[in-house]
Amino acid sequence: MITRDRAVQTFLDLVAIDSPSGHEDAIAAELEHRLRQLGLQTAQDAAGNVLARLDGQGEPILLSAHMDTVEPGRGIRPQWDGPDIIRSDGTTILGADDKAGCAVILEVLQSLLEDGLPHRPVEVAISRGEEIGLIGATNLDYRRITARVAIVVDSGGPPSSIQGQAPYHYVYDIEVYGRSAHAGLEPEKGIPAISIAAELVTSLPQGRLDPETTGNVGIIRGGLVRNAVPETCLVQGEFRSMVQERAETLARTVRRHVEAVQTRHPGVHIQADIRMAYPGYRLEPDDPAAALLFPILRSLGFQPNPHPVGGGTDGNVFRGHGIASLVIGRGGYNQHTKDEYLVVPEMLDCARVVEAACRSGIA
């Protein structure tokens, strides 16, 4: 049985452990310890993701969350707001994104073991570095994953809140190499990399390009001192679209633009790395994950609410590896802000839905 007090205490224990992206060692060790205490086969892969398995009957199911948080996420002090809402104290995030997801998975596993009823084999993947580019999921050891269906517990709202569509996401790193010179004595001997980069930036995709497509130049970094012609400049950005063809067209357009600027400035070397960060998806009626979870939601009194989102999750990466993944709500709101809060009954509802999915399809 899903137990409120235990699930809430697990959540509070986890948010007490600082785990901003890149500093997940302590939370990874705690998660590994808790999973081993439950008797699961548990290990960290080479990327530091925590992987575990609980044997069962039938087709396996993958349960996933991420262990890292955004900043400011150190020294979190949760506060109760009435009997059912936990907030941050206003100086940090709360960390429901995604410590609530981790707590849900741990509670589901505990309940499955206590009840002793048949269930599917359950594989667990709790990733690092999700908030800074889905790094853990991208580098996860997929040789250890056999499930072809996954529930990713990493969305806001109740469990009926389903990420039904997510974008194809491209990122780029463009390095401009010019020539340095003293800016006061002989500037004509230099080739200013920042000026060339500025020429590039003016035609890179930025803002909302259409209802399903966005672009952004996020970082420009160049030069060392004010009195030297800058030798190098780095431009980093992204674009994403719900439409695969549109994203691919933008990638080709950016490459052609870089080539054109290079042609206009033969004394400069421009090195561009333009790559897909993760694939997008659109839930179809026959999607295996939707076919599994939607009937369960309805049987528990929820109406599935698939909707598009502008960002990506580990579910995007899993789908790129052939794992049909559904990203569901775990009761959190205002994530990535100091106003973040968790609705405890919705977190428990999420746990009940996930538990029912683990029991589904057992003869």
Count of other CB atoms within 10 angstroms of residue 91: 11
Cis peptide before 72 (omega within 30 of 0): yes
Cis peptide before 98 (omega within 30 of 0): yes
- Which residues partner with 328 through β-bridges? 153, 162
Catalytic annotation, residues: 68, 130
Count of other CB atoms within 10 angstroms of residue 234: 15
Q: How many CA atoms lie within 13 A of 206 on its CB side?
A: 10
Angle at CA of residue 49, ends 44 and 53, nearest 5°: 65
Q: Which two tokens stand for residue 322?
A: 């052939």
Query: Are β-strands 79-80 and 85-87 bridged in parallel, bridged antiparallel, or unpaired?
Result: antiparallel
Question: Mind spelling out the 3-state secondary structure of the chain?
Answer: CCCHHHHHHHHHHHHCCCCECCCCHHHHHHHHHHHHHCCCEEEECCCCCEEEEECCCCCCEEEEEECCECCCCCCCCCEECCCCEEECCCCCCCCHHHHHHHHHHHHHHHHHHHHCCCCCCEEEEEECCHHHCCHHHHCCCHHHCCCCEEEEEEEECCCCEEEEEECEEEEEEEEEECECCECCCCHHHCECHHHHHHHHHCCCCCEEEECCEEEEEEEEEECCCCCECCCEEEEEEEEEECCHHHHHHHHHHHHHHHHHHHHHCCCCEEEEEEEEEECCEECCCCCHHHHHHHHHHHHCCCCCEEEECCCCCHHHHHHHCCCEEEEEEEEEECCCCCCCEEEHHHHHHHHHHHHHHHHCCCC
